[in-house]
Amino acid sequence: MGKIQKKGQAGAAKNYITRTRAVKKLQISLPDFRRLCIFKGIYPREPRKKKKVSKGSTAATTFYYTKDIQYLLHEPLLAKFREHKAVAKKIAKALGRGEAGDAARLEKNLVPKIKLDHIIKERYPTFTDALRDLDDALSMLFLFANLPSSEHVPAKTIALCQKLCHEFEHYVITSHSLRKTFLSIKGIYYQATIQGQDVMWLVPYRFVQRTGGDIDFRIMGTFVEFYTTLLGFVNYRLYTSIGLVYPPRFNADLDAQGAELSAFQIEGKGVAANGDVSHGDVSETANPEAQAVADRIAAAPVTEEEQPEDTQVVPAAEEENTETIDKFEAVAPDADVLPQPQASSAEVAALFAPYTFYLARETPRAPLEFLLKAFGCKRVGWDSTLGDGAFTSNESDPSITHQIVDRTAIATEDASETPDGAAPKVQWPRSTMPGRTYVQPQWVWDCINQGKLLRPDLYAPGAELPPHLSPWVKPKKGEYDPNLPLQAQELEGEREAFEDAEEVASEGEAEESDDEVDEDEGMESDASVEAGEGMQVDGSEDEEEDDDEPQKPADEFDGFDSDAESDVSEGEAARLQHQRELEAEATGKTLEPEVETTKSKNAAVRKKAERKRKEEQDERDRQKMMLSNKKRKLLKRIEYGSNKRDVEAENLRRKKRKLEKAKAAAEAV
């Protein structure tokens, strides 16, 4: 007979341990326990049967795996935490005795310094694992880099986050690894492909941040401490992989003047100590050995003997034409749509290379500078008020090809001064440089996401911008696509139904306004009528005028005001038409053809579409009857999601239709 086990000593009760017991077992304080768990990547666990684990108790309790806590018993940081606790007691005693000097000496010499290098190597055995976990690290560090300094967030931590973030951005610029970006409500999303891994991070906008009191900055500070160590390792590995010196040379004076990215000077490993390499020369010095071999081969002259006989000299123009991307066009309207080839990464990386950009002072300089340099532009200038490090701060520099502005249109004349109160002339800006292209900031983001230069006139200052869509969300079949016209997305009869509904609504508003006018006129006439004035008398002129008008016979029908006639079936309409033809033939009159109005056309199209949809629905119902009960329920869930998507798309199309109608009415005025 086996040994009888007691309750709570095996199974789930042994696999889990409460937080209180874990802290007592490790013999550290609760803040140190939280800090250690964050460093080691150990998080609370929720048991399946919580009542068995807690021995019948229903109180809210935090559980951990027992094996995780046993794993922490051998952590070297436990000794550091205990040393820190002992030194803290000595400092507290010195301060209690009023010995501030001894307390400062103890804090400077005896407080142990915690290093997380071994934890980074332990949690990320390969560099690919570190890249996969880089999303949260970058988002957190970019957030702290934009926070104001306070008692919870020291300036030293903010400066370290800014330094590491700028170093990472320099690698992205040098390697041309940035792929997509998106402006959202939360901030600016970036996605880069680094050594085959997609890394996405979020950078908040530079607004005035107000940190609330409900935020636990101790926990966030612990994450920042871990992520700064991680990003330092990652930056070192990334820089050395492309032959750059890490850490890059940092100019504190330029950084104090707001240079930001320009305060770092990137250089290769083979550059002389006294040679200052600008960021534009990084590609030439990233791998000096390979670059020297390439330069030697390119500089070597090719003799006639070495040149093959069948080699033909191709003009430069033809060579450029061969590098362009071919486009596959359909030869027939019903042909299949062929996938178009995408631009190569080298072409996308040099998207803005031939141009010189100037950023107006109202534009966000930091993200625009990063994006433009990441896609090949080496000449980015801005106003001197935005900081130092610009290629040029002179707005009238003739070498500037594009200027990014974000100002509203300026009215050059007052409406009161214009003749007949005409609308004032709108012109932006007050003075433009000839030969320069003026665009809004969204043009840069849309060009990057589409991998080509878009039409700048669509992004002109004061123009209504195209929709800025997420590059990670692709429109599916049946969903609303803002890039396509409404005619290509509308269902059959949808526009006609919308026009009829708008017409009915406008008629109802007109009738309500007429009723209000009649009531007001009646009230005014009652108030202004005096004795014997405005009364109807037999034989008056008004009655004689009414008698002269021909009255309609009682048996003549004038038609319904509603859409009842449109609801008549086609068979009934054909019967009535045949009856009219017989009556006209008997009386000898010619039957005048009925004038087909827009309302009748819409009704016919709508009825045809409804009939077609009803037939399709009946066919689907017949097919459902052949399915099993399980598959029918699954199909019902699928149809529920599809119908919900269709309703959302229809609502968006209706909004777009109303906006287009309002815009057309405003342009007509």
- pLDDT at residue 535, as a whole number: 41
> What number of other Cβ atoms are within 10 A of residue 400's Cβ?
21
Tokens, residue 572: 């009934």
- The residue among 117, 136, 129, 24 whose CA lies nearest residue 72 is 24
- pLDDT at residue 420, as a whole number: 52
> Residue 517 above 60 pLDDT?
no
Tokens, residue 286: 């990233």
Tokens, residue 311: 């080699």
Q: Do 203 and 218 meet the contact criterion of CB atoms below 8 Å apart?
A: no
> Residue 583 above 50 pLDDT?
yes
Report, as an integer, the average pLDDT of 527-554.
Answer: 44
C-alpha 428, offset from chain centre = 28
> Residue 114 above 60 pLDDT?
yes
Digit-coded pLDDT (tens) for 351-368: 999 999 999 999 999 999
- pLDDT at residue 264, as a whole number: 92
- pLDDT at residue 614, as a whole number: 81
Report, as an integer, the average pLDDT of 204-209.
Answer: 86
Domain boundaries, the chain: 12-109, 117-242, 348-416+423-473, 476-501+598-669
Report, as an integer, the average pLDDT of 626-647.
Answer: 82
- Percent of the chain surpassing pLDDT 90: 35
- pLDDT at residue 585, as a whole number: 75
- The residue among 490, 489, 449 whose CA lies nearest residue 466 is 449
More confident residue, 374 or 269: 374
Pick the range with the lowest mean pLDDT from 160-174, 227-241, 410-424: 410-424
* DSSP track, 254-297: HHHTT-GGGGEE--BTTS-TTPPPPGGGHHHHSSHHHHHHHHHH
Task: CATH number for 348-416+423-473: choose from 2.60.40.10, 3.40.50.10190, 3.10.20.30, 3.30.460.80.
Answer: 3.40.50.10190
> Residue 321 above 80 pLDDT?
no
Q: Do 383 and 393 meet the contact criterion of CB atoms below 8 Å apart?
A: yes
Query: Across all residues in the chain, what is the average pLDDT?
Result: 76
- Residue position matching structure tokens 């038409």: 577
Report, as an integer, the average pLDDT of 513-532.
Answer: 50
Digit-coded pLDDT (tens) for 600-629: 666 676 677 777 778 888 888 888 888 888
As a whole number of angstroms, the distance between CA 432 and CA 443 comes to 19
Report, as an integer, the average pLDDT of 67-71.
Answer: 92
> Residue 122 above 90 pLDDT?
yes
pTM above 0.95, yes or no: no
> Residue 537 above 90 pLDDT?
no
- The residue among 410, 456, 463 whose CA lies nearest residue 437 is 456
> Residue 479 above 90 pLDDT?
no
Digit-coded pLDDT (tens) for 403-451: 999 987 654 444 444 455 554 545 555 567 888 999 999 999 999 999 9
- Percent of the chain surpassing pLDDT 70: 67
> Residue 529 above 70 pLDDT?
no
Confidence grade of residue 664 (pLDDT, cut at 50, 70, 90):
confident
Our CA dihedral for 500, 506, 508, 511, rounded to 10 degrees, sits at -140
- pLDDT at residue 72, as a whole number: 92
Pick the range with the lowest mean pLDDT from 255-269, 397-411, 484-498, 534-548: 534-548
